[in-house]
Structure 1
Amino acid sequence: MKNIYKKILVSFSVVALVTSCEKELDLSNPTALSIEELLQTNNGFQLLSNGVLDAYQKVPANEFLLIELRSDNVRANSENGNFPAINAYNVDPNNGDVATYYSNNMATIKHANTIIDNRFLAPEDQQYTVGEAYFMRALCHFNLVRAYQNVPYIDKVLDITKDEALDYPQLPEGDVYEKIINDFKTSIAYLDGGVQNRYRPSKGAAICLAAKAYLSQPNPNYGEAELLLASVIENNTSYNYDLIFTERNNAEQFEFNADPLNPTTDVLTDAEYYANLVIDYGHVLGNTISDGYTDGVLDGSWSNSSALEINDEVIFSIAYDLVSSDNYVTSDSALDDQVQTDSESHSFAMTLQGPSNGVNIATLDFLEVMNPELQPVRFYASLNALDYSATLIDNTKDTFNVKFRQMVRLEIMTGLF
């Protein structure tokens, strides 16, 4: 009899446990608004659009690993871990960085589609958010088609419980580019008349990226790209894009060089002019150099300058540090179970002290063409030796690319240099 009671008690305990677990798994945030409720608020579309940009913050770190690390420019320093495998094209779909890059772009697309699917409900003063959504959907698919070639084009919010979401078809590369260009062009119409803001999608950025998509597709369309970019040049007072470049007659003279014909006149040497251009190139990358010029070479050290991170050559930059701008406040966004996308951590990974002793080391192929003789301007602002003080390559030390090492915010698109 006692055994029967024991079995009954155990049975009730199991049922209670299963029931309690089911309730716990089904719990929802009682303070969270549904999409329907959010869209009825005064700034619902603005909040959704900020969510799209926040989701995109997770993309850049993996993008460097999958795009730049697989080029002939950089390599990983360690024989252990994930980075050398990516560098050697020895990856599979289960690779964490490959999967994360794909899923983070898809998550951003899902958020963008939420706005697009409800675009007819957007009030007049929030129509720009629809343009931002089309822009971000196009940008994420642009990332994916360049990394994976044939990909599905997700143009609506999918129900993951239905077969449609499981079997959404991959499209040929050319078809994906056609849809990307159409989305960028749609965003241009919605963003027309909006404020030019490099921290948010803008009409100018959409035009430039549509042109880049024309040039990146399997059969480049140079004519259409030229027409789009010509419109940016002709109306540049609205977009405020410009090349950071010093004319020779405006260049700084670092040392006195006597004119052979007039010893009292200071002549600007080619080396001094190149030094001016080196400083300009560093500014494009958001870096400034400390004072120092000896025997025709800048000998100062580079450091990040927040004043230069958003410069005239930047078309669109996702923000990480707290930035308040046109109803947009965002901050570093990292998840414990994914690659941390805090931009300072990403920059730290570019150094010797970073994970696996750095992932941004110049390859020998790159060093053959990037030297003071062949690249008197780009060399000094692009490379730095292991101790971060040398200005010339020391073959006994690893040489890091400076471009990514000192960036505090990741500039997604700097399309003018």
Structure 2
Amino acid sequence: MKNKITIIGLGYVGLPLAVEFAKKYNVVGFDINHSRVSELNSGHDYTLEVSDSDLKNVLKNTEKSGLKLTNNVNDIKDSNIFIVTVPTPVDRNNRPILSPLIKASETVGNVLKPNDIVIYESTVYPGVTEDECVPILEKYSSLKFNTDFFCGYSPERINPGDKTHTVANIKKVTSGSTLEVGKIVDELYKSIITAGTHLAPTIKVAEASKVIENAQRDVNIAFVNELAIIFNKLGIDTHDVLEAAATKWNFLHFKPGLVGGHCIGVDPFYLAQKAQEVGYHSEIILAGRRLNDSMGDYIATEILKLMVKKDIKVKKAKVLMLGITFKENCPDIRNTKAIDVYTSLKQYDMSIDVYDPWADFKEVKDEYGIELISQIENNYDVIIHVVAHSEFLNINYKKIKSHNGVVYDVKGVLSKNVIDERL
């Protein structure tokens, strides 16, 4: 039987996956956001994960391949493989929000047929697919799991803004609810993933493998952030220390900075929540999260110290923040920790301009209440290099700062002769 695939969710994960599958299969991309579907059907992806040319090419449907984009559930009824790629955020208390996953499961359950396979890619703690999603699929389809329909889990490994490590170029972990289904899921992904696949023995193993990837990275960055705080007190440049240490072959070269976004800044809480449910209170994972979440306030405090040292009046100080997205060369503002720096400094009644050529003006206004500036002015008392967009490397910092102004480099990539201090 020729596979017809439906991708549920057309964001940073779902759209690139849908486009890749559509090069070989008939694919339906489904999203409840009507404006998102309309934008994509016009041939443009505002996330910039897929180029306009690639998108337009797969929208030209043929008998064997192509992509149809829709928000109409009727358009997905004849698919036999459903891949769920909806977000899995946390609430303000850092508790997992599974409602997007539950709603997507309800949607799929309503159209599920015998022998269909439902594959989840959303990052979750071990057990969510079989313990939370499967009962919903059974309820809405009136079918029996592993008898009438089957499931798989293949965690997403999208790196927003990265044009080198794209969907096809990143090795994919796969799994299935039975051994046979695992092999089917593995072969499906193997047909589009040039980097190869790794078939995990169970869905829970695959779920766990994903959530620890980001937790491990979070802890490593937290360690380096702690080093930055210590070395700053000792009057030592952290980046110089890391450069020296990295000459050893097995040194892990992480850099200090703000850790936000929809993955690293969120996923550790999923694992910690599940650990708590089974009676274990996470020590290292949550400690790393707390430290990384405190870095916005720490950076703001260091900037205030520099201002005092240079006799710059704090109240009404003219400040330029370069960057609001969660990472460089990417328009994604979800869970950005740049906002922590802004909020910390704003309480001192500073006049803060935020400039980010990658971010969407309306999205930033709606999400954070900040009006981005479209052009950098001059005579800033403080300039904070928050996000390492390529464009910021070419700015003449000496020209746009005041005579006694401060330049603080959060990312540690600017030339030392233009900055006063770096994290």
- For normalisation by structure 1, the TM-score amounts to 0.27
Between Structure 1 and Structure 2, the one with more strand by share is 2
Relative contact order higher in (CA < 8 Å, ≥ 6 apart): 1
Rg: which structure is higher?
1
- For normalisation by structure 2, the TM-score amounts to 0.27
Between Structure 1 and Structure 2, the one with more helix by share is 1
